[in-house]
Amino acid sequence: MIKPNAVVDINSKVDKYEFKRPSIHNDIRFDTLNYQVFTIDEILKENINYYKIKLNKTYDRNKIYIKTNNKVDIMCLYFSLDNMKRILYKDEKIKIDNVLNLNHGMINPSLLNIFSFFENLLKYNIYKYSNSITYDDLSKKDVKPENKNITTLFEHKKFVYENIDSLYIDNNIGKLNKADYLYILVKNKNKKKPNHIKCNIVQYNLKNNTLNDSDFKYQISNI
């Protein structure tokens, strides 16, 4: 039972109470029906780090939030199993090629071998190389970007977010030839200080999104 002295007389005491509309900022969870969330939280290794996210093709967009202790360079690269297409993407700019056009040295390559080859390219920051280098060479420590026969991934400056410690971007992945995987590449240039990365990726459909950009940014940065 409510005691009489606990009842608010809204006519006489309204100035003593503050009535607030509920804010979405009170709940930083994305519902699992309309959003799919991935998180990365670790210390970066020296030089190139890459993180692989398997995409859900029912979603047509993703937002990416990244925060690091120290400045880094970042690229977003997508991989499609349809003809093994490699897709560089930034701000609606797209560059597509086929990794099997490189001198991979594989006869009837399995999907496992293709992934191993492709991820070795990422590990060593290699975009393409001359025919003087073979697939087997890519696992050797003496293969370095300084080699004049190698073009590095991060040489593609128009696809690089350079010298940043915070990033918040929205990507229209519906136009990326049905990509199967997203790779986030991080070039850690600071060798002296430990560099921590916090990265949150949210996949969603634009037509089902119920959040404005301010609320979306607040939520994705607080996962």
Are the C-beta atoms of residues 73 and 195 closer than 8 Å to each other?
A: no
User: Residue 174: inside a domain, yes or no?
Assistant: yes
- Residue 14 domain-assigned? no
The residues near 136 (Cβ < 8 Å, ≥ 6 apart) are 105
> Would residue 2 count as lying in a domain?
no
Nearest Cα to Cα of residue 172 among 199, 119, 209: 209
Task: Note the pLDDT of residue 129.
Answer: 81
Q: Which of 4-8, 132-136, 167-171 has the highest mean pLDDT?
A: 167-171
pTM: 0.82
pLDDT tens sequence across 136-173: 666 665 556 566 678 899 999 999 999 999 999 999 99
Question: What gap in Å lies between CA 113 and CA 142, rounded to an integer?
Answer: 21
Task: Show the beta-strand stretches assigned E in 156-195.
Answer: 160-172, 181-188
pLDDT over 90 percentage in the chain: 55
- Does the residue 103 lie in any domain? yes
pLDDT number for residue 25? 43
Q: Is residue 155 part of a domain?
A: yes
Residue 7: inside a domain: no
Residue 69 backbone dihedrals phi, psi, to 5 degrees: -70, -40
Average pLDDT for 191-211: 93
Pair of tokens at residue 101: 């056009």
Are the beta carbons of 181 and 82 closer than 8 angstroms?
no
Task: Provide the domain count of the chain.
Answer: 1
Domain housing 133: 35-220
Is the per-residue pLDDT at 49 higher than 70?
yes
Is a pLDDT exceeding 80 seen at residue 71?
yes
| In a domain? residue 65 | yes
Residue 29 located in a structural domain: no
